[in-house]
């Protein structure tokens, strides 16, 4: 006869609180208490640029502009960036959430909640930390350079034999703004110190030589422009190295969209230009085509007349098989033209533009024909 003995395994108590231990002689709560999920100091000092909102971190100034951040949210973004660099993660699968408890003029009290595991065998838990953020304000290096009028390059935009149009000036300035904003985060000197707009054209004083060259490349290609780079000695750096400043001249062509040119002796209307391509409409052949500065036809290009040379007419008489009668909107002179010269349907009362060259009248296309 055998006697069976039942062995009962007894879990040792936690040596701190007496609850059943689960890990290293400690219960889950005591283990978590001794192994926090994160480590963060308080109070923390946040040094921010008063002008642009950049903050000073251990590795330099961190920009936050250019990401579509609303002005009211700048402070929250600054705090998040500071805490990203100030929090040391100790646990596993840790996630951080922030909640503002109280905001004063230069002090913000934040409740930081860390959720995660102190050990992979334990269940997730939350830890709360009260963190005080103290704001200080100064001027970052970039804003300091801007305030001092610093620039490395000048971008001059002119037009050949004419003044820049208001539309061209607006488009040029908008392009400069868009590209500068886009490159600001990757280039500390991507800013425009000043802009001079006069009857000669526009001068952009650019903080970064690289940005200036990028803008010049864009304008040269977009407007089929001529370019000239000129370096001027402006001083010496430490060690005797000579310091130069570049001025880039971009000269837009004599013509622009809407003007008239002659290509292979045929009068043409310019309907589009950009990206190293000029799109024209042959007023004699009644066909659209594109050329670039490297094509053979480009060498035959001559300027004929500005867009302002076109005349406005109104269709007064129109019947199939008969010439179309049009009245000049300025001198009320009536002229007759063949129906075959019109590329689209017409009705009485329509406004039509035409170009008079020597003794011949060329009917221009409607703008809607080039849409899409």
Please report the pLDDT score of residue 3 as a whole number.
59
Please report the pLDDT score of residue 365 as a whole number.
82
Helix spans in the chain (H): 28-34, 74-86, 141-147, 166-183, 209-222
CATH of domain 255-304: 2.30.30
239 upstream amide cis, omega within 30 of 0: no
Find, among 10, 29, 22, the residue nearest to 121 by Cα: 22
CA angle, residues 179, 181, 184, in degrees to nearest 5: 105
Please report the pLDDT score of residue 284 as a whole number.
92
Q: For residue 193, what are the contacts with CB-CB under 8 A and spacing of at least 6?
A: 146, 149, 150, 151, 205, 206, 207
Please report the pLDDT score of residue 372 as a whole number.
44
Which pair of tokens denotes residue 239?
């060690």
Integer Cα distance of 26 and 344 in angstroms: 89
Please report the pLDDT score of residue 76 as a whole number.
83
User: What does R_g of the chain's alpha carbons equal in angstroms?
Assistant: 36
Find, among 215, 189, 190, 221, the residue nearest to 203 by Cα: 215
**Helix (H), strand (E) at residue 99:** strand 92-103
List phi, psi (to 5°) of 333: -70, 140
Tell me how long the chain is: 372
Architecture in CATH of 28-139: Sandwich (2.60)
Integer Cα distance of 195 and 180 in angstroms: 13
Integer Cα distance of 118 and 120 in angstroms: 7
Which pair of tokens denotes residue 43?
């109070």
Integer Cα distance of 37 and 34 in angstroms: 10
Integer Cα distance of 314 and 324 in angstroms: 10
Please report the pLDDT score of residue 287 as a whole number.
92
Find, among 233, 230, 229, the residue nearest to 219 by Cα: 229
What does the pLDDT profile of the chain (372 residues) look like in tens digits?
555 555 555 678 988 888 988 888 899 999 999 999 999 999 999 999 988 889 998 888 888 765 566 666 788 888 888 998 899 999 999 999 988 777 777 898 999 999 999 999 999 999 999 999 999 999 999 999 998 999 999 999 999 999 999 999 999 999 999 999 889 888 889 999 999 999 889 999 999 999 999 999 999 999 999 999 999 988 887 777 888 899 999 999 999 999 999 999 999 999 999 888 999 999 999 999 999 998 999 999 999 999 999 999 999 998 888 899 999 999 999 999 998 888 888 899 999 999 999 889 999 987 655 554
The answer to whether 29 and 125 have CB atoms below 8 angstroms apart is no
CATH of domain 310-372: 2.40.50
Please report the pLDDT score of residue 197 as a whole number.
95
The answer to whether 362 and 267 have CB atoms below 8 angstroms apart is yes
The answer to whether 96 and 83 have CB atoms below 8 angstroms apart is yes
């Amino acid at each position: 006869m055998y006697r069976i003995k039942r062995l009962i395994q007894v879990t040792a108590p936690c040596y701190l609180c007496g609850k059943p231990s689960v890990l290293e002689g400690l219960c889950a709560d005591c283990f978590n208490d001794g192994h926090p999920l994160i480590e963060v100091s308080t109070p923390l000092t946040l040094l921010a640029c008063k002008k642009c909102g950049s903050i000073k971190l251990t590795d330099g100034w961190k920009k936050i502009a250019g990401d579509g951040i609303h002005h009211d949210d700048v402070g929250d973004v600054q705090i998040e960036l500071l805490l990203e660099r100030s929090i040391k993660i100790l646990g596993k699968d840790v996630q951080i959430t922030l909640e503002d408890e109280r905001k004063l003029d230069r002090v913000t009290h934040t409740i930081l909640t860390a959720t995660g595991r102190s050990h992979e065998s334990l269940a997730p838990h939350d830890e709360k930390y009260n963190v005080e953020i103290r704001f200080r304000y100064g001027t970052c290096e970039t804003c300091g350079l801007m305030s001092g009028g610093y620039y490395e390059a000048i971008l001059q935009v002119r037009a050949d034999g004419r003044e820049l149009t208001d539309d061209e000036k607006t488009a040029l300035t908008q392009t400069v703004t868009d590209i500068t904003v886009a490159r600001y985060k990757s280039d500390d000197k991507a800013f425009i110190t000043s802009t001079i707009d006069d009857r000669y054209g526009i001068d952009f004083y650019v903080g970064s030589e690289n940005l200036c060259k990028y803008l010049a490349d864009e304008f040269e290609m977009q407007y089929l422009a001529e370019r000239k780079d000129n370096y001027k000695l402006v001083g010496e750096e430490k060690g005797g190295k000579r310091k130069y400043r570049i001025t880039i001249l971009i000269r837009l062509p004599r013509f622009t969209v809407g003007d008239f040119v002659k290509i292979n002796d045929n009068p043409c209307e310019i309907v589009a230009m950009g990206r190293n391509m000029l799109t024209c409409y042959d007023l004699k052949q009644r066909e659209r085509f594109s050329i670039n500065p490297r094509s053979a036809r480009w060498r035959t290009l001559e300027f004929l007349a500005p867009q302002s040379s076109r005349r406005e007419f109104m269709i007064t008489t129109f019947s199939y098989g008969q010439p179309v009668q049009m009245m000049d909107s300025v001198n009320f002179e009536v002229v007759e033209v063949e129906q075959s010269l019109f590329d689209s349907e017409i009705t009485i009362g329509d406004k039509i533009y035409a170009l008079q060259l020597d003794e011949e009248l060329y009917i221009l296309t409607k703008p809607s024909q080039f849409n899409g």
